[in-house]
A and B are shown apart, each in its own frame.
Chain A
Amino acid sequence: MLQRTLPTLVLTACLLGGWEIYCRQSGVSPLILPAPTEVISALIRERSEIGRHAVSTLSVAALGFSLSVSFAVLTSILLHFKPWLRRGLMPLFVTSQTIPLVALAPLMILWFGFGMLPKVLLVVLVTFFPILLSLLSGYRQTPPAFRDLLASMGAGRWTIFRRATLPSARAAFLAGLRISATYAIVATIFAEYAGARRGLGIYILTAKNNFRADLVLSAVVVSATLTLALLGLIRLLDWLSARGPEARGNA
């Protein structure tokens, strides 16, 4: 474990050390670039306020991500069994990913107000497609011998899907989850930035307007921590659901 994370820890320590030294030696104003220690101090000082906003962001991201995973799984099953629907819907899903968030987020706020709904919808929109695509790709990776064997035993399409196709897509599904998880928090913050009463997005906007770069960066640290926590949760899920020595080794 330590061997795997050591290079990342060393590199991070070097970057932060270089940043700290630069801030102290160059005399750059903390309004422009605060040193890492100043960011951490601001984070500790404002922990209660940032914490409240972080909880709001996490609630929206968790709800949006959960809905997104559920929709993606159900849609992938539907598209797997109905190829004509896949051919019809996939271009629309691809097009939906080309809409710039900067255009969509304010429109969502305009249509659905400052509540939770527009933010959850935006998270779903951003995270749904990578999971769906990973699942469909995973289904296609099912070894034909597995399908043939089950079909020769008299298994129907659903039994083949449940016993061979779905488990074969496990690794691809988890890869899609990891990609989407990194987008979930960022999408929520972007939606909050466009308009919200609470959340890290609106906190960052307020801090920026007050020329408090230390608070902006504190919120960034919290956002990164939330994303890493989400990724950690997926890794735990991976480990818990792994079967067989190889899967457990890779988890």
Chain B
Amino acid sequence: MLEIQNLTLHADGRSLIKDLSLVVPGDGITALIGPSGCGKTSVLKWMAGILPDAFQTHGTALLDGKPISLPHRGLCYQPQSDALFPWLTIAENAAMGLEIAGLPRRIALAQVTALFAPFGLAGCEAQFPAQLSGGMRQRAAFLRTIVQDSRLVLLDEPFSALDAVTRLRMQDWLLSRLSDRPRGVLLVTHDLHEATGIADRILVMAANPGRIIAEIDVPGQPGARTEAILADLRETLKTLLLEQTP
């Protein structure tokens, strides 16, 4: 379980996030939604340890109750774009995290290659990112994230660049992969359908300064919720978000 306590972010003398506290359980998906500019991505980047130096930050991150410094091996980040290196094969891209963690290249490649079939990427090992479709690229990026065996995964709008059909397929696919390899996920998204469809909990942020204004447990199992529940939930979220918009 990841716990963030009293996170405050300042930049250019402006307070972007103020006293934000949240909890991401060790399994299931927690969605973080909010209006543009409320600081969702900044919170995620802080957790990933990649916030630019221009930000002044205060706050504590606890993993299973113990304070940790960031970046941390237990937290794995996937940026908005798939960020696959075009000069590396899909297998080399997927093995990158393991290599950086200190695993010899040969062993890292062997580990990721074994996962290509369950991730629907069989036969793509020696291909380059430009040869893959958008959905397959996201799967490869997700394989790179999952294979690092971290406790929690930080996803920054991972499906935003995909078309509607591929996005729905990828959401189902993500749930299926997480049921094979359970771990906690913090998903930043703008899409209310995505948040209500696949998340177990939804955290709603407000802007100026960024803070959590609501925490909603989504009833039922992801993928098995009735349209009535989802519609009610979306309406609640819409009301909360519109109240924050001037």
Q: Say yes or no: A146 contacts B97, CB within 8 Å.
A: no
Q: Within 8 Å of chain B (Cβ to Cβ): is A154?
A: yes
Contact partner, B87, options A149, A152, A154, A243, Cβ 8 Å: A243
Q: Within 8 Å of chain A (Cβ to Cβ): is B159?
A: no
Chain A 140-191 interface residues, beta-carbon cutoff 8 Å to B = 143, 145-155, 159, 163-164, 167, 170
Query: How many whole Å from A154's CB to the nearest CB in chain B?
Result: 5
Which among B96, B100, B130, B131 has the greatest number of chain A C-beta atoms within 10 A? Answer: B100
Tell me, in angstroms, the Cα distance from A154 to B71 when the chains sit together. Answer: 6
Tell me, in angstroms, the Cα distance from A154 to B69 when the chains sit together. Answer: 11
Q: Which residues of A contact B87 (CB under 8 A)?
A: 167, 170, 243-244, 247
Q: Say yes or no: B100 contacts A148, CB within 8 Å.
A: no
Tell me, in angstroms, the Cα distance from A159 to B83 when the chains sit together. Answer: 16
Q: Say yes or no: A164 contacts B85, CB within 8 Å.
A: yes
Query: How many whole Å from A141's CB to the nearest CB in chain B?
Result: 13
Q: Mark A20-42, 1 if CB is under 8 A from B, else 0.
A: 00000000000000000000000
Interface of A is mostly: helix
Contact partner, B100, options A154, A243, A244, A246, Cβ 8 Å: A154
Chain B 175-229 interface residues, beta-carbon cutoff 8 Å to A = none
Tell me, in angstroms, the Cα distance from A245 to B76 when the chains sit together. Answer: 29
Which among B49, B77, B81, B87 has the greatest number of chain A C-beta atoms within 10 A? Answer: B87
Number of interface residues of B (CB under 8 A): 28
Query: How many whole Å from B148's CB to the nearest CB in chain A?
Result: 7
Q: Say yes or no: B100 contacts A153, CB within 8 Å.
A: yes
Q: Within 8 Å of chain A (Cβ to Cβ): is B10?
A: no
Q: Within 8 Å of chain A (Cβ to Cβ): is B59?
A: no
Q: Which residues of A contact B130 (CB under 8 A)?
A: 244-246
Q: Say yes or no: A151 contacts B50, CB within 8 Å.
A: yes
Chain A 3-19 interface residues, beta-carbon cutoff 8 Å to B = none
Q: Which residues of A contact B148 (CB under 8 A)?
A: 153
Tell me, in angstroms, the Cα distance from A159 to B81 when the chains sit together. Answer: 21
> Residues on B close to A: CB < 8 A?
45, 48-50, 71, 73, 75-81, 83, 85-88, 96-97, 100-101, 128-131, 148, 154
- 8 A/B residue pairs, CB under 8 Å, sorted by A: A145-B80, A145-B83, A148-B79, A151-B50, A154-B73, A167-B85, A244-B86, A246-B86
